């Protein structure tokens, strides 16, 4: 981590000169279970991972926002007074979209920062080791690091739930991806060795011990290096099907339905909408079952929920890909406790829960299966549950 902080300070100096007022960081996430449930007011159970985005930031005397990223050339600048969702495009839409969302929130709270002074411009330099496009929420990591930095520099005193909501708002309104609140919640609320049980209806959260170290087990990420983009049609069309399903069933969201409602849903809905609904209803149950099993018996018994979740995403929600299916099936065949694709789908990463002693072999066998299938070699690496966004310095 120190290396990332060092790089962050150097990157800041190379673009803006001098030293930043502070450094903030926020992690990517993997979702252990509970996919596409967040925008259905359901349950999800993500963890914050040990890969982070760092933002080095310094307040300015004027109202200019300037942002640089070590992943892209140049500096993007905009005046605070000109921030608007339509004016922001490309990579800078993520950090500046958060600035827009936060300036809206500050406006609602009285038009200025808590201290009574108008919000100042800020120079922001971003560096990250969260792989982009892998379904590990590199975008939420950027949003949450920037949100925390601006909250401090502007003295807004917003709580983490509110910061998560503003990150989501930036993604929905500025980036144009109709995503839920899971990624930002995980990035802001994560804890070492814990998963975060999110109730996306009440917005209540609980930290649940994973017990991985005690069970001598851990998570492997299998990044298939096939791309996913949530602004594209697949994610939005799944969301629409869920909303259609809820409307036809006469409920405000699919959270209101349980397994007992499925026969009525089967009778009422077309086959495709029914399968979308069945995924959400059964996935909510699997999240609760996973958390209950972790609490009573530990990680060794949660594999079946992970495996069933993947089947549901593959067959009912239809968001998997041949590469993700192969990552999952070869992990299972190589002796993983359980495996599933993670995140929005249509590419990106799968996760496998593996015993420590099996991790090397499972990774090797997945790589061999990919080579045999003629797929691009996957990037396979372990992740641990880590602390959420924080001020580093």
Q: Which residues are catalytic?
A: 183
Options 42, 180, 190, 303; binder of ligand GLA; rule CB under 6 A: 180
Residue 180: CB minimum distance to ligand GLA, A: 3
Q: In the complex with ligand GLA, which residue's Cβ is closer, 171 or 358?
A: 171
- Shortest gap between Cβ of 13 and ligand GLA (angstroms)? 33
Q: How far is the CB of 181 from ligand GLA (least distance, A)?
A: 6
Q: Is residue 183 a contact residue for ligand GLA (CB under 6 A)?
A: yes
Contact between 195 and ligand GLA per CB under 6 A: no
- Taking CB under 6 A as the binding criterion, the range among 67-75, 179-187, 201-209, 212-220 that sits at the site for ligand GLA is 179-187
- From candidates 344, 347, 378, 388, binder to ligand GLA by CB under 6 A: 344
76 part of the interface to ligand GLA, by CB under 6 A = no
Q: How far is the CB of 169 from ligand GLA (least distance, A)?
A: 13
Q: Determine the interface stretch with ligand GLA among 15-23, 36-44, 71-79, 263-271 (rule: CB under 6 A).
A: 36-44
Rounded to a whole number of angstroms, the minimum distance from the CB of residue 178 to ligand GLA is 9
**Residue 223 found at the interface with ligand GLA (CB under 6 A):** no
| Residues within window 82-101 making contact with ligand GLA, judged by CB under 6 A | none
Is residue 52 close enough to count as binding ligand GLA by CB under 6 A? no
Which residue, among 354, 129, 319, 327, has the nearest Cα to 232 in the 3D structure? 319
Q: What would the 3-class secondary structure string for the chain be? A: CHHHHHHHHHHHHHHHCCCCCEEEEEEEEEEEECCCCHHHCCEEEEEEEEEEEEEEEEECCCCEEEEEECCEEEEEEEEHHHCCHHHCCCCCHHHHHHHHHHHHHHHHCCCCCCCCCCCCCEEEEEEECCCCCCCCCHHHHHHHHHHHHHHHHCCCCCCHHHHHHHHHHHHHHHHCCCCCCHHHHHHHHCECCEEEEEECCCCEEEEEECCCCCCCEEEEEEECCCCCCCCCHHHHHHHHHHHHHHHHHCCCCHHHCCHHHHHHHHHHCCHHHHHHHHHHHHHHHHHHHHHHHHHHCCHHHCHHHHHHHHHHHHHHCCCCCHHHHHHHHHHHHCCCCEEEECCCCCCCEEEEEEEHHHHHHHHHHHHHHHHHHCCCCCEEEEECECCCCEECC
Q: Does 28 bind ligand GLA (CB under 6 A)?
A: no
Piece of the chain touching ligand GLA by CB under 6 A; list 33-41, 54-62, 301-309, 352-360: 33-41
Nearer to ligand GLA, 46 or 121 (CB): 46
Residue 171 Cβ, how far from ligand GLA at the closest point, in Å? Answer: 7
Q: Contact between 317 and ligand GLA (CB under 6 A)?
A: no
Stretch binding ligand GLA (CB under 6 A), from 61-69, 123-131, 177-185, 290-298 = 177-185
- Tell me: does residue 179 bind ligand GLA (CB under 6 A): yes
* CB proximity list for 290: less than 8 A, separation 6 or greater: 32, 33, 45, 302, 305, 306
Question: Applying CB under 6 A, which of residues 20, 25, 35, 158 lies at the interface with ligand GLA?
Answer: 35
Instruction: Give the interface with ligand GLA as residue ranges (CB under 6 A).
Output: 31, 35-36, 38-39, 179-180, 182-183, 230, 343-344
């Amino acid at each position: 981590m120190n290396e990332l902080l060092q790089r962050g300070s150097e990157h800041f100096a190379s673009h803006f000169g001098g030293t930043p007022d502070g450094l903030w960081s926020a992690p990517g996430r993997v979702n252990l279970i509970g996919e596409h449930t967040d925008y259905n007011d359901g349950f999800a159970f993500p963890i914050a991972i040990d890969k982070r985005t760092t933002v080095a930031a310094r307040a300015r005397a004027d109202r200019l926002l300037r942002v640089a990223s070590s992943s892209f050339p140049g500096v993007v600048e905009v005046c605070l007074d000109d921030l608007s969702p339509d004016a922001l495009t490309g990579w800078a839409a993520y950090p500046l979209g958060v600035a827009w969302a936060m300036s809206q929130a500050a406006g609602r709270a009285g038009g200025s920062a808590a201290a009574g002074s108008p919000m100042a411009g800020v120079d922001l330099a971003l560096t990250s080791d969260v792989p982009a496009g892998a379904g590990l929420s590199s975008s939420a990591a950027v949003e949450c690091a920037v949100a925390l930095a601006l909250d401090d520099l502007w003295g807004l005193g917003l709580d983490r739930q509110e910061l998560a909501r503003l990150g989501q708002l930036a993604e929905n309104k500025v980036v144009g991806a109709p995503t839920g609140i899971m990624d930002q919640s995980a990035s802001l609320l994560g804890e070492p060795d814990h998963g975060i049980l999110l109730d996306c209806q009440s917005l209540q959260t609980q930290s649940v011990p994973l017990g991985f170290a005690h069970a001598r087990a851990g998570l492997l990420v299998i990044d298939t290096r096939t791309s996913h983009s949530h602004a594209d049609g697949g994610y939005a069309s799944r969301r629409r099907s869920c909303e259609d399903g809820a409307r036809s069933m006469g409920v405000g969201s699919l959270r209101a339905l349980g397994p007992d409602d499925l026969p009525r849903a089967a009778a009422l809905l077309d086959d495709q909408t029914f399968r979308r609904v069945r995924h959400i209803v059964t996935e909510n149950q699997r999240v609760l079952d996973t958390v209950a099993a972790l609490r009573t018996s530990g990680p060794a018994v949660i594999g079946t929920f992970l495996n069933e979740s993947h089947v549901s995403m593959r067959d009912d929600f239809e968001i998997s890909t041949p590469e993700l299916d192969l990552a999952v099936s070869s992990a299972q065949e190589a002796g993983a406790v359980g495996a599933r694709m993670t995140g929005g789908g249509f590419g990106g990463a799968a996760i496998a829960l593996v015993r420590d002693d099996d991790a090397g072999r499972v990774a090797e066998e997945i790589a061999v299966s990919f080579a045999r299938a003629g797929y691009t070699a996957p990037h396979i690496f372990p992740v641990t549950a880590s602390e959420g966004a924080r001020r580093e310095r």
